[in-house]
Structure 1
Amino acid sequence: MKFMFAFVFCMTLLTVFGAVAQDHTGGKSPAVLESDLDKMSYVIGLQFGSSMREVGMEVSLSALSAAIEDALKDREPALSEEEMTAAQGKLREVVTAKREEMMKKQQEENAAAGAKNTAAAEAFLKENGAREGVKTTASGLQYEVITEGDGPNPKASDTVTVNYKGSLIDGTVFDSSYERGEPATFQVGQLIPGWVEALPMMKVGSKWKLYIHPDLGYGDRDMGKITPGSLLVFEMELLEIKGAANGGANQTITIN
């Protein structure tokens, strides 16, 4: 188990080390690294130290260095079992407090971004709704019919096959079945509210453009490229109805 933990830790370094390649405020390192062993050891320490800095964890470099040396040389620890247990308990308290602090900060940042993006979304929808050909439903969903199909309409319980491209107000594409080269299959009733409302209004063969208020999209959730409060724009083709789904977990649009 201990070997596996050490192995996984080393493999993690190989996959996430690129995260430390950024601008630095502390000047150039004075370290002299000559051998491959020096460089590999430095990589381990650099990644560990970067992780501690990113979460705001304060450490004693001398104590940390001594602990690493003691462990590598299989020395008896400088702390008794009771002291070790007490220190581990204190560490858990500090880590928990840091995690809560970071979560609170992230929530505050998301709320601020959400308010700003939602205001921009509502201004866009107000102007967009006045354009010829744009229809607005009671929920605030806006859509344009690009091509009207003549097939049946799906129900919320149906599974459908669609081609779509999702983008933000600024044109940034966050997902596209066209780019992946194959359509996507979803259960209608388990998608975002904007899709759940739009799809049953579409006939097979239709192509629509949707303008989705954040309340009908991902709301204040941070979805990577889709920041909190973002308005979503979808070009969507309804290709096929595959019939009623057999249940399953909620489905979301893949965000690349």
Structure 2
Amino acid sequence: MLKKARDLILAASAVLACSTLTAQTTAPTATSPNANKPAVVQSNDISKEELTKASGAFGHFIGRNLKTPAIQFDIDAIIQGIRDGAAGKQAPMSDKDYEQLMSKVQEHAITVLTKENLKSANEYLDKNVKEAGIVVVQPGKLQYKIITPGTGPTVESHSSPKINYVGEFIDGTAFGSSEEAGGPVTIPLDQTIQGFSLGIAGMKEGEKRRLFVHPDLGYGTSGHLPPNSLLIFDIEVVKADNSSQATQNDDSDDDDDDLMRLSPGDNKGIKH
């Protein structure tokens, strides 16, 4: 929801930039020594057909970003608003009233999404527990499945294992990975969400495990991820304890592993 709002803002900014450029080309300017010299203009002509295609693509971009499970926008009203705005007609409300109303709409959307995501998380784990190979750490809250067994040293609680990982939502959308961070990352288990630290403890070097983390052991409604998201992690342990490297990272400016310092409210770097 928040990402879609930002996408729409970017789209609107692109239109505004075009309007600004047009205004700049028609506005009077101060006379300069080169004012009477012929300007060299590069040809960037665009055909009517190209402009029509661009208009359709822009409209499609806006339309697909209006599809949210929490809000059902009135498409006809949006189209009419675009027509009225382009025609220079008076806005249906002031900018201040618009901002207040959209804030209310967004708050409603977050409330709906919070409830729906929690329901989805509960239903997913209730169904997933019946799958072959699922191990329950906490009933209804944390499950895992061993993908590839390991044979090396074991990850202990409060340690700092070095891992490869991919984090996904229920729909398979990735929100972060060690590859994006530049390779394996060292994660102090005391500085991460409870579901992750409990789920990775006991893994052996070389083991690959899939964690299923309920929002109660994840972010809940905190942080920048969608509220009450169930998190799925694919994890490979490269080194059971890399505490010395974790200490060095804390003393340096290297923030590669900040992506997985998954404490609520401290998840900068995670895509959303």
Matched AA of 2:261: Q
Aligned length: 181
Matched AA of 2:153: P
In 2, Cα distance between the equivalents of 1:197 and 1:115?
A: 25
Q: What percent of counterpart residues are identical?
A: 30
Q: Compared with structure 1, are the counterparts of its residues 105 and 183 closer, same or farther at alpha carbon in structure 2 (3 Å cutoff)? A: same
Matched AA of 2:230: L
**1:121-200 alignment, distance < 5 Å:** 121-139=121-139, 140-200=141-201
In structure 2, the partner of 1:20 is: 12
**Residue 192 of structure 1: CA displacement?**
1.1
In structure 2, the partner of 1:230 is: 229
Tell me, yes or no, if the aligned pair for 2:133 and 2:146 is still in contact at 8 Å: yes
In 2, Cα distance between the equivalents of 1:130 and 1:165?
A: 23
Matched AA of 1:199: I
Matched AA of 2:128: N
In 1, Cα distance between the equivalents of 2:15 and 2:116?
A: 28
In structure 1, the partner of 2:261 is: 251
In structure 1, the partner of 2:72 is: none
Tell me, yes or no, if the aligned pair for 2:153 and 2:204 is still in contact at 8 Å: yes
In 1, Cα distance between the equivalents of 2:226 and 2:159?
A: 30
**Residue 180 of structure 1: CA displacement?**
4.8
Determine helix, strand or coil for the equivalent of 1:204.
coil
TM-score in terms of structure 2 length: 0.55
Q: Compared with structure 1, are the counterparts of its residues 184 and 32 closer, same or farther at alpha carbon in structure 2 (3 Å cutoff)? A: closer
Determine helix, strand or coil for the equivalent of 2:201.
helix
- In the alignment, is residue 117 of structure 1 matched against residue 114 of structure 2? no
In 2, Cα distance between the equivalents of 1:22 and 1:33?
A: 13
In structure 1, the partner of 2:96 is: 57
Let me know the Cα RMSD of the aligned residues. 3.9
Determine helix, strand or coil for the equivalent of 1:151.
coil
Tell me, yes or no, if the aligned pair for 2:156 and 2:202 is still in contact at 8 Å: no
The equivalent position to 2:25 in structure 1, one of 36, 42, 61, is 36
Tell me, yes or no, if the aligned pair for 1:155 and 1:188 is still in contact at 8 Å: no
Tell me, yes or no, if the aligned pair for 2:117 and 2:229 is still in contact at 8 Å: yes
In 1, Cα distance between the equivalents of 2:193 and 2:164?
A: 16
Tell me, yes or no, if the aligned pair for 1:163 and 1:238 is still in contact at 8 Å: yes
Q: Compared with structure 1, are the counterparts of its residues 222 and 115 closer, same or farther at alpha carbon in structure 2 (3 Å cutoff)? A: farther
Tell me, yes or no, if the aligned pair for 1:146 and 1:209 is still in contact at 8 Å: yes
**Residue 36 of structure 1: CA displacement?**
3.4
Determine helix, strand or coil for the equivalent of 1:230.
coil
Determine helix, strand or coil for the equivalent of 1:118.
helix
**Residue 214 of structure 1: CA displacement?**
0.9
